[in-house]
Amino acid sequence: MKPDVYSIKSKLVVFAVISTLLPTIGLGLLSFKQNEALINDSVTRELRVLIDNINRQLNKWSEENMLAIRALSTSNTVIEGLTVLQQPGTDNELTDTKQISSNMVDYLYSVQEKLDEILELTVFDHAGKIIASSSNTPEVHKVPEKWTHALLTSGVIAIPPVWNNHFATATVSITFPVLSYDNQRIGAIAATLDIGTFKSKLMEIKKLAAGEITMLDHKGNVLLSSAPNVDHQTTLSSQQWELMQMDEESVTYEGLAYPQAIGLTYLSEAIPAVILVEQNYYSSIQAAWIKLRDRFIEFVGMLVVIITGVALYMGHSIVTPLKRLIGAARSIVEGNLDIQLPIRHKDEVGQLTDMFNHMTNSLRSQRTEILAANQAMQQQNQLLQKLSITDGLTGLYNRNKLNVILAEQLARLKRHHRLFCLLMIDIDHFKNINDELGHIVGDKILMMVATVLLKSIRTIDYAARYGGDEFMIVLTETDLHAASIIAERIRAEVKATCLTLEAHPLPITLSIGITQSHQTDTTASDLIARADAALYEAKRLGRDQVYCVDDAA
C-alpha cells in the first residue's frame, strides 16, 4: 500500500515538472532563435565601432604625414634648389650643382630624422629625374604627367601600401609636386612612409573594443596586424579572401587571428588598404550564448524548484489525509473501531473522511450488537450444556454425565491404576410415599436426599441421579472401606433429616450398594451391574443399610 500512496506524490511532481518544462523549453528555443540575430547585431556593432576608430586614427595619421610632406614641398631649400638646377646654363657649372644636391640631401636627411614615419625622401625634377634622396637606392616613383588641382594640394599616392622588403615593413609612398615661387611645377618630392608606425595606434584602439585589426593590401597581403600570430607572411585562404570582399557585412569564418572568428572588412579612404577587424567567435558569440543559456537554466531550475514545491505541497495535502485513512483502516482491520478522524477540509478527501467516520460508527454499533448477541448465546450455550449434564429436579449430574464420568475414571484406572468406588443409593418404599403423600412431597424428598449427598462428598467426587429414586456416587481414589464409611454417614444423615409433616416426622431411609473398580472392568455397565447387585442385597437384607461387594481380590 505504502508505495502506491507515495506514487501519488511522485506522479504529481512528475506531471508538474513535465508540464512546466515542455512549454518553457519550447519558448526558450524560440527566444534563442530570436536572440541569435540580436547577438550577431551586437557583435557587428562592436566591430563597426572598431572600424570607426581605426578610420579616424588612420585619417589623422595620413593627414599629419601629408601635411609634413607638403610643408617639405614648399620649403625654400627644395624650391630654390630645383629652381637653380633647372635654370639654363647651370648644367655646366658642375661644382655648384653637386653642392646644391648635397645641400638638398642633407636637408632631406635632417627632416627624415625628425619624423619617425618617413623612411625615405626623394626630390625629382619636372622630368622625373632624381635630384636628391635620403636613400642611396631611392625608389623610383611614377609622377603623374598632369597634376590636377586636387593633387597639387593633397599629393598623390605614388606607390599604394605594400610590404617593403628593403625596409622590412609595410610602406606607402606619397608624392607632392614642388612649385616655383611663380607657381610653375618644377619637380616633385616623394616620401616613403612606414605604415608600421601605425601599429601603436592599432594597439590603443584594440584596448577600447575587444578584437584584432589587420591591414591588408588589395591582393590580400598582410601589411600590419594587432594580432601577435598574424604578420606579412600570413597568407589568406580562398575563403578568407572571398569574405574580405564583403564590405561592411559581418561574417563568421575561419579567421586570421582566431580559429573561428566573426569579422568585418572595410576599405580605408585614407590610404588604399583593406581593414579587417575580427572578434573571437567563441568569446563573443559563444560567450553570449553561454550567458543566455546559463540564465535560461537558472530560470528553468528556479521554476522547477517552485513547481516541485507546489506539487509536493499539493501531494502532501492529498496524501496526508489518505495516509490517515489508511492508518485508520488498518486499525479497523486489527479490531480497533474506536476511531474518529478529524475533517479538516470540505473537499473530496474531507467527504471521504466523513463517510469513513460514518462507516466506522456503523461498524461500532453493529459490533456492540453482535457482542451482546454473542454473549447471550454463550450464556444460553452454557445453560444448555449444564442442562444436558444436569438432572432438572435435584441439580445433580444426570445419567448421561454419569456414564461419561465412569468412562473417564475407568480410563484413569487403566493408565494410572487409580481405584474408585461406586455407590448406588435407593430410597426405601418411595412408591408408598408418593402414593400416600403425593408426588410433590416425593420431589421434596428427592431434593433433600440430593442435598445430603452433595454435602457428604469431596470436590473430587461426583453425585448423580440415576433415575426415579435412585442416585449414584463416584468416590475417586477411594477404597471400599472408606467408601462404606461415607455411605454409612450418608444413610445416617438422610435418616436424621427426615421430613416433618403436620407435626409428624416422616422417616426416610436409604439402601446403599457399594462396589469397587476392578482392573478387568471395561465398561460402566460392569460396575453399575455390581453396584446394583449390592443394592439388591441391602434391600433383601431389610433395607436402611449399606452393603459392600467385596470381591476386589
Ligand X SMILES: Nc1nc2c(ncn2[C@@H]2O[C@H](COP(=O)(O)OP(=O)(O)OP(=O)(O)O)[C@@H](O)[C@H]2O)c(=O)[nH]1
CB-nearer residue toward ligand X: 45 or 431: 431
Task: Look up residue 251 and give its amino acid.
Answer: V
Out of 426, 461, 521, 544, the only residue in the binding site for ligand X (CB under 6 A) is 426
Name the 3-class secondary structure at 359.
helix
Residue partners of 64: CB distance under 8 A and separation at least 6:
none
469 has catalytic annotation: yes
* Least Cβ distance, residue 436 to ligand X (angstroms): 11
- What residues between 100 and 119 interact with ligand X by CB under 6 A? none
CB 466 to ligand X: min, Å: 11
Report the residue closest to ligand X, judged by CB.
442
539 binds ligand X (CB under 6 A): yes
Q: Is 443 in the site for ligand X (CB under 6 A)?
A: yes
Piece in contact with ligand X (CB under 6 A), picked from 18-26, 61-69, 236-244, 427-435: 427-435
Candidate ranges 152-160, 230-238, 435-443, 455-463; the one touching ligand X (CB under 6 A): 435-443
Closer to ligand X by CB, 138 or 395: give it. Answer: 395
Give the binding range for ligand X (CB under 6 A) out of 399-407, 438-446, 453-461, 524-532. 438-446
Least distance to ligand X, CB of residue 362, Å: 52
The pattern of x and - marking residues 140 through 179 that bind ligand X according to CB under 6 A reads ----------------------------------------
Residue 115 backbone phi and psi in degrees, to 5: -110, 115
As a whole number of angstroms, the distance between CA 283 and CA 258 comes to 10
Residue from 468, 497, 519, 552 in contact with ligand X (CB under 6 A): 468
Q: How far is it, in rounded angstroms, from Cα 202 to Cα 58? A: 9
Look at residue 43 and give its three-state secondary structure.
helix
**Contact assessment for residue 214 and residue 226, using Cβ atoms and an 8 Å cutoff:** yes
Strand partners, 187: 125, 178
The catalytic residue among 469, 521, 532, 544 is 469
User: With CB under 6 A, what is the number of residues at the site for ligand X?
Assistant: 16
Cα distance between residue 314 and residue 473, in whole Å? 80
Please, which residues have CB within 8 angstroms of residue 244's CB and are 6 or more apart in sequence?
216, 220, 236, 265, 274, 276
Q: Residue 354, interface with ligand X (CB under 6 A)?
A: no
Q: Is 509 in the site for ligand X (CB under 6 A)?
A: no
Choose which of 46, 120, 278, 428 interacts with ligand X (CB under 6 A): 428
Question: Nearest distance from residue 428's CB to ligand X, in Å?
Answer: 4
Q: Is 540 in the site for ligand X (CB under 6 A)?
A: no
Pairing of strands 546-549, 510-516: parallel
Task: Kindly identify the residues of this chain, within the stretch 357-416, that bind ligand X according to CB under 6 A.
Answer: 393
Q: Which of 293, 429, 458, 481 binds ligand X (CB under 6 A)?
A: 429
CA distances from 39 to 107, 121, 212, 390 (A): 56, 49, 19, 109
- Please list every residue from 444 through 463 that binds ligand X, using CB under 6 A: 446
Stretch that binds ligand X, among 100-108, 369-377, 421-429, 475-483 (CB under 6 A): 421-429
Helix locations, 199-286, DSSP H: 199-208, 238-244, 281
Residue in 316, 431, 455, 458 binding ligand X, rule: CB under 6 A? 431
The smaller minimum CB distance to ligand X, of residues 301 and 468, is found at 468
CA dihedral 11, 15, 18, 22 (to 10 degrees): 160
Q: With contacts defined by CB under 6 A, name the span among 206-214, 233-241, 258-266, 423-431 that binds ligand X.
A: 423-431
Radius of gyration of the chain measured on its C-alpha atoms: 70
Task: Decide whether 446 or 464 has the Cβ nearer to ligand X.
Answer: 446
Segment interacting with ligand X (CB under 6 A) among 41-49, 57-65, 436-444, 526-534: 436-444
Q: List strand residue ranges (DSSP E) for 108-250, in order.
A: 118-125, 130-133, 156-164, 169-179, 185-194, 212-216, 222-225
Instruction: Specify whether the CB–CB gap between 233 and 170 falls below 8 A.
Output: no
Q: Between 101 and 434, whose beta carbon lies closer to ligand X?
A: 434
What's the CA gap between 210 and 262, in Å, rounded?
Answer: 12
Tell the residue number behind the cell numbers 590636377, with chain if given: 148
Distance in angstroms (rounded) separating the CA atoms of residues 342 and 407: 62
How far is residue 142's CA from residue 132's CA, in Å, rounded to a whole number? Answer: 16
**Closer residue to ligand X in complex, CB, 234/434:** 434
Helices (H), 220-268: 238-244
Q: How far apart are CA 54 and CA 58, in angstroms?
A: 6
How far is it between the farthest Cα atoms of the chain? 211
Show the site string, 120-139: x = touches ligand X by CB under 6 A, - = not: --------------------
Which residue from 117, 194, 469, 521 is in contact with ligand X, where contact means CB under 6 A?
469
| Cell digits of residue 490 | 450418608
Nearest to ligand X of 151, 498 (CB atom): 498
* Catalytic sites, residue numbers: 469
Binding site for ligand X (CB under 6 A): 393, 426-432, 434, 439, 442-443, 446, 468-469, 539
